[in-house]
């Protein structure tokens, strides 16, 4: 009676823990997407601020990119953004203190708004970036530039990633996406031949004693914290890459992918080796009995049999490379530009999230943009693991 | 079978008894020594200072228990917003939006400057350039000057490094040196001061900025001029203290108006002469 009861209890406990895990995962992904999607409901201009021009200014709307160029003084004439031929004057709230004394503005800024209105009235070419509460919106000579919401195409097709630019941050995701893909694909290209070689050696050629030593050692590699890999990459590998290829900087996509390749190796080796060792003994013996050499047996029998396992190893290794954070953060230089060569510095999605989430103001555009990056990463890794699942289930080698 | 159940039941009841007795114990002790806890969260730059100050403070006052964690300036302020910390330590001033959010909830935010941190501009030790004006720095970090030749050095590409986009140091440098202009797009960025030093040491054309406390002989600190090249000031504690060195930023503590009485003893301690000596010890510039 008790055994039955405890059996049922354990069964329920297991079901319960399964349900809890499932709900937790669903909850986390829901949270991720909810926070991320919030970005497209956020205004392009920093929260609590408005952009103001003179009412005689014909310019009605500016894109985030134009705003950035104006405030970086790259655009200095209104003509460039469709206005009159007129010099642009940039005005920030702090500039008011250079024009009026503290007493004129008032102890608690009670006259700040009218003084701002005066300044704007005097300068037709002005563009002012002001806190909403002090902006003289009701004044007749003042026009507020309407701030739209951050658009989906600006996010997904934008080529500039400047999340803390004021007044209008830019969240172009393309440099990060290309950076991530470049580094991880290159990492797999480096790790795959090496990993397969080692897997073949361990499973087919090495004698039992060497195998028993080598396999745990390789699996141990997976246990080294990624910061250690990152630091090794920064201190040892980056200078080597810099000297060998005569580069001005050592922190490049190439350096990052070498480190990632090293980190993906244990996964690839151990999954591929397991798959190869699962080849039935009878098949090997049959092949050898037909007079095939050991090498012929390996590449005509073992590898085709283990094909699905090997593909799964590749995909899992790729997943490891794409999601890796700390090591890449330290060795790739983190420059947010679309890479044109493997010796460019790149910035990857996980590294960006890790580096910025700690300091991003909670709930604001930057924070939401990082969550959206998380969504993109989530989708990429999900596609990869679904692919791994499908590949490892497929058995395209029919036993005779 | 019944025996098993019996054991199980007694076990459970014993356990619950235990926890009950513990509860009574703790409530029994409380009235004698009332220990209040204060949480401090935020900037990694301020962290070593706070930690040291908390250690020293424990010798002076045992009534207040302080728990210190890092995470970044933004994390500290977010925690203040959610009421999960009593003090936010930051290396940047609170943003307008953040302040507004707190004030929407009917609270007030108090700001205290606890110390100053000087930033040194550093280059590779073999770099011949040792003087730069603010204007030159602006052009270097916004990408208008790209070769050391243009500022009196050898013919070598300039590789500027910045801190991560959201760090307080990044923001301060942008405001003070770049006059709010954006860094060149695709500037190299490094997650920590240590990594910056390492990269500068390895890269001949590199230039970056770090807190004065991080300077070492692996890198060369550049003398900076904020008056168009008339005087170039060496970054040193003495120059930061007598305010001749221009690239100096305040380090802040923020707390909510209604928790003032709770956090006051510690803040007063940090602002006192003993507290400010700790500031010097840790490698920042005190308020005196």
In chain A, which among 367-396 make CB contacts under 8 A with chain B? none
Question: Are residues B164 and A336, on separate chains, in Cβ contact within 8 Å?
Answer: no
Which chain B residues have a beta carbon less than 8 Å from that of A345? 186, 188
Question: Are residues A73 and B181, on separate chains, in Cβ contact within 8 Å?
Answer: yes
A interface test, pick of B186, B192, B201 with most A CB neighbours within 10 Å: B186
pTM of the model: 0.81
Beta bridge partners of A43: A149
Which chain A residues have a beta carbon less than 8 Å from that of B101? 363
Q: Given this model, what pLDDT does residue A92 score?
A: 86
Question: Are residues B72 and A358, on separate chains, in Cβ contact within 8 Å?
Answer: yes
User: pLDDT grade, residue A340 (50/70/90)?
Assistant: very high
Contacts of A175 (CB under 8 A, 6+ apart): A159, A160, A161, A336, A337, A338, A339, A346, A347, B186
Q: Given this model, what pLDDT does residue B81 score?
A: 86
Considering only CB atoms, B198 lies closest to which of A162, A234, A354, namely A234
Which chain A residues have a beta carbon less than 8 Å from that of B195? 234, 330
Find the residue in A nearest to B142 (Cα).
Answer: A72
Q: Given this model, what pLDDT does residue B142 score?
A: 93
Q: Could you read off the pLDDT tens digit of each residue along chain B, which spans 288 residues?
A: 445 554 544 444 444 444 444 444 444 444 445 678 899 998 888 998 999 999 999 888 878 889 998 887 888 888 898 888 999 999 888 877 778 778 877 888 999 999 999 999 999 999 999 999 999 999 999 999 999 999 999 999 999 999 887 677 888 899 899 998 999 888 998 888 888 999 999 999 999 999 888 888 999 999 999 998 899 999 998 898 888 999 999 999 999 988 888 999 999 999 999 999 999 888 898 887
Q: Given this model, what pLDDT does residue A123 score?
A: 87
Question: Are residues B182 and A165, on separate chains, in Cβ contact within 8 Å?
Answer: yes
Question: Are residues B74 and A71, on separate chains, in Cβ contact within 8 Å?
Answer: no
Give the gap in angstroms from C-alpha B256 to the nearest C-alpha of chain A: 17
Compute the average pLDDT of residues A79-88: 89
Q: Could you please report the per-residue DSSP string of A268-318?
A: HHHHHHHHHHTS-HHHHHHHHHTT--HHHHIIIIIHHHTHHHHHHHHHHHH
Question: Are residues A2 and B5, on separate chains, in Cβ contact within 8 Å?
Answer: yes
Highest mean pLDDT among A104-108, A121-125, B7-11, B163-167: A121-125
The CA distance from B150 to B84, in Å, is 51
Q: Given this model, what pLDDT does residue B28 score?
A: 42
Find the residue in A nearest to B80 (Cα).
Answer: A362
The CA distance from A203 to A274, in Å, is 8
The string of pLDDT tens digits covering residues A19-45 is 999 999 999 999 999 989 889 988 888
What CA–CA distances, in Å, run from A133 to A99, A365, B97?
20, 20, 11
User: pLDDT grade, residue A245 (50/70/90)?
Assistant: very high
Question: Is pLDDT above 60 for A125?
Answer: yes
Helix/strand/coil for A58: coil
Question: Are residues B78 and A362, on separate chains, in Cβ contact within 8 Å?
Answer: yes
Residues comprising chain B, all counted: 288
To 5 degrees, how large is the angle CA B147–CA A162–CA B82? Answer: 135
Q: Given this model, what pLDDT does residue A27 score?
A: 93
The CA distance from A229 to A233, in Å, is 6
Considering only CB atoms, B180 lies closest to which of A92, A334, A335, namely A92
The string of pLDDT tens digits covering residues A178-211 is 999 999 999 999 999 999 999 999 988 888 899 9
Q: Given this model, what pLDDT does residue B247 score?
A: 92
* Helix residue spans in chain B (DSSP H): 2-29, 47-60, 73-81, 96-104, 134-142, 168-176, 193-202, 237-241, 260-271, 273-282
Find the residue in B nearest to A238 (Cα).
Answer: B202
Which chain B residues have a beta carbon less than 8 Å from that of A46? 96-97
* CB-side neighbour CA atoms (13 Å) of B15: 6
Question: Are residues A2 and B4, on separate chains, in Cβ contact within 8 Å?
Answer: yes
Find the residue in B nearest to A331 (Cα).
Answer: B190
Q: Which two tokens stand for residue A218?
A: 């390789």
Q: Given this model, what pLDDT does residue A190 score?
A: 94
The string of pLDDT tens digits covering residues A249-269 is 999 999 999 999 999 999 899
Q: Which two tokens stand for residue A167?
A: 């007044």
Q: Which two tokens stand for residue B47?
A: 């962290």
- Of B125, B92, B128, B283, give the one whose Cα is nearest residue B218: B125
The CA distance from A277 to A371, in Å, is 42
Question: Are residues B96 and A335, on separate chains, in Cβ contact within 8 Å?
Answer: no
A95: contact with B, CB 8 A cutoff? no
Q: Given this model, what pLDDT does residue B50 score?
A: 93
The CA distance from A163 to A102, in Å, is 33
Tell me which H or E stretch contains B186.
none
Which chain A residues have a beta carbon less than 8 Å from that of B81? 362
Which chain B residues have a beta carbon less than 8 Å from that of A162? 165, 182, 185
Considering only CB atoms, A249 lies closest to which of B81, B142, B159, namely B159
User: pLDDT grade, residue A399 (50/70/90)?
Assistant: low
Q: Which two tokens stand for residue A148?
A: 């739209």
Question: Are residues B202 and A358, on separate chains, in Cβ contact within 8 Å?
Answer: no
Tell me which H or E stretch contains B179.
none
In which residue are the tokens 């350039």 written?
B129
Burial A304-336 (b: 16+ CB within 10 A, else e): ebbbbbbbbbbbbbbbbbbbbbbbbbbbbbbbb
Give the gap in angstroms from C-alpha A383 to the nearest C-alpha of chain B: 29
Question: Are residues B74 and A361, on separate chains, in Cβ contact within 8 Å?
Answer: yes
Phi, psi for residue A282 in degrees, rounded to 5: -60, -35
Let me know: does B123 contact B219? Beta carbons within 8 Å: yes
Which chain A residues have a beta carbon less than 8 Å from that of B206? 249
Find the residue in A nearest to B71 (Cα).
Answer: A358
In chain A, which among 203-232 make CB contacts under 8 A with chain B? none
Considering only CB atoms, B1 lies closest to which of A2, A248, A363, namely A2
A358: contact with B, CB 8 A cutoff? yes
What CA–CA distances, in Å, run from A256 to A181, A185, A190?
12, 11, 11
The string of pLDDT tens digits covering residues B140-170 is 999 999 999 999 999 999 999 998 876 778 8
Please, what is the average pLDDT of chain A? 88
Give the gap in angstroms from C-alpha A249 to the nearest C-alpha of chain B: 6
């Amino acid at each position: 009676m008790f055994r039955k009861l405890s059996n049922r209890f354990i069964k329920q406990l297991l079901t319960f823990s399964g349900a809890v895990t499932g709900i937790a995962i669903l909850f986390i992904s829901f949270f991720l997407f909810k926070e991320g999607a919030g970005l497209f409901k956020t205004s392009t201009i920093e929260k609590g601020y408005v952009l103001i021009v003179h009412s005689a200014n014909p310019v009605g709307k500016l894109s985030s990119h134009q705003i950035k160029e104006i405030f970086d003084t790259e655009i200095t004439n209104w003509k460039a953004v469709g206005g009159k031929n007129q010099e642009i004057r940039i005005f920030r709230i702090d500039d008011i203190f250079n024009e009026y004394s503290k007493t004129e503005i008032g102890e608690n800024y009670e006259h700040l708004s009218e003084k701002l209105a005066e300044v704007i009235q005097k300068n037709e070419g002005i563009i002012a970036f002001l806190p909403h509460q002090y902006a003289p919106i009701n004044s007749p000579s003042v026009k507020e530039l309407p701030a739209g919401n951050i658009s989906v195409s600006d996010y997904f097709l934008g080529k500039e990633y400047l999340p803390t630019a004021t007044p209008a941050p830019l969240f172009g995701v393309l440099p990060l996406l290309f950076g991530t893909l470049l580094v991880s694909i290159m990492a797999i290209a480096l790790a795959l031949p090496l990993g397969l070689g080692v897997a073949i050696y361990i499973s087919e050629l090495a004698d039992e004693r060497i195998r028993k030593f080598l396999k745990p050692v390789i699996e141990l590699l997976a246990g080294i914290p990624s910061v250690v890999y990152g630091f090794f990459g920064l201190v040892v590998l980056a200078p080597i890459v810099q000297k060998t290829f005569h580069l001005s900087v050592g922190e490049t996509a190439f350096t990052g992918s070498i480190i990632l390749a090293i980190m993906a190796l244990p996964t690839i080796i151990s999954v591929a080796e397991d798959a190869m060792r699962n080849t039935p003994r009878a098949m090997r013996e049959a092949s050898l009995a037909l007079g095939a050499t050991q090498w012929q047996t390996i590449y005509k029998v073992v590898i085709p049999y283990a094909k699905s396992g090997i593909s799964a190893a590749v995909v899992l290794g790729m997943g490891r490379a794409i999601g890796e954070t700390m090591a890449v953060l330290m060795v790739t230089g983190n420059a947010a530009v679309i890479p044109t060569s493997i010796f460019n510095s790149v910035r990857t999605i996980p590294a960006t999230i890790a580096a910025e989430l700690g300091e991003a103001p909670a709930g604001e555009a930057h924070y939401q943009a990082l969550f959206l990056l998380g969504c993109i990463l989530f989708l990429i890794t999900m596609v990869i693991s679904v692919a791994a699942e499908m590949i490892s289930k497929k058995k395209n080698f029919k036993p005779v | 079978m019944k025996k098993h159940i019996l054991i199980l039941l007694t076990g459970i009841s014993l356990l619950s008894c235990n926890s009950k007795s513990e509860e009574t114990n703790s409530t029994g002790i409380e009235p004698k020594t009332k220990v209040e806890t204060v949480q401090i969260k935020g900037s990694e730059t301020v962290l070593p200072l706070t930690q040291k100050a908390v250690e020293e403070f424990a010798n002076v006052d045992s009534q207040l228990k302080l728990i210190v964690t890092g995470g970044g300036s933004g994390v500290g302020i977010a925690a203040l917003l959610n009421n999960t910390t009593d003090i936010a330590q930051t290396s940047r001033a609170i943003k307008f939006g953040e302040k507004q959010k707190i004030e929407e909830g009917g609270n007030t935010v108090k700001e205290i400057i606890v110390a100053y941190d000087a930033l040194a501009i550093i280059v590779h030790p073999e770099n011949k350039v040792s003087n730069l004006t603010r204007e030159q720095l602006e052009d270097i970090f916004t990408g208008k000057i790209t070769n050391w030749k243009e500022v009196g050095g050898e013919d070598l590409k300039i590789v500027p490094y910045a801190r991560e986009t959201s760090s307080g140091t990044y923001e301060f440098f942008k405001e003070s040196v770049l006059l709010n202009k954006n860094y060149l797009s695709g500037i190299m960025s490094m997650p920590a001061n240590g990594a910056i030093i390492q990269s500068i040491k390895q890269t001949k054309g590199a230039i970056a900025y770090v807190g004065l406390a991080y300077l070492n002989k692996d890198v060369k600190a550049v003398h900076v001029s904020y008056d168009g090249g008339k005087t170039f000031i060496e970054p040193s504690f003495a120059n930061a203290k007598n305010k001749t060195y221009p690239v100096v930023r305040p380090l802040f503590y923020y707390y909510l108006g209604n928790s003032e009485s709770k956090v006051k003893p510690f803040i007063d301690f940090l602002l006192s002469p003993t507290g400010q000596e700790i500031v010097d010890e840790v490698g920042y510039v005190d308020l005196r």
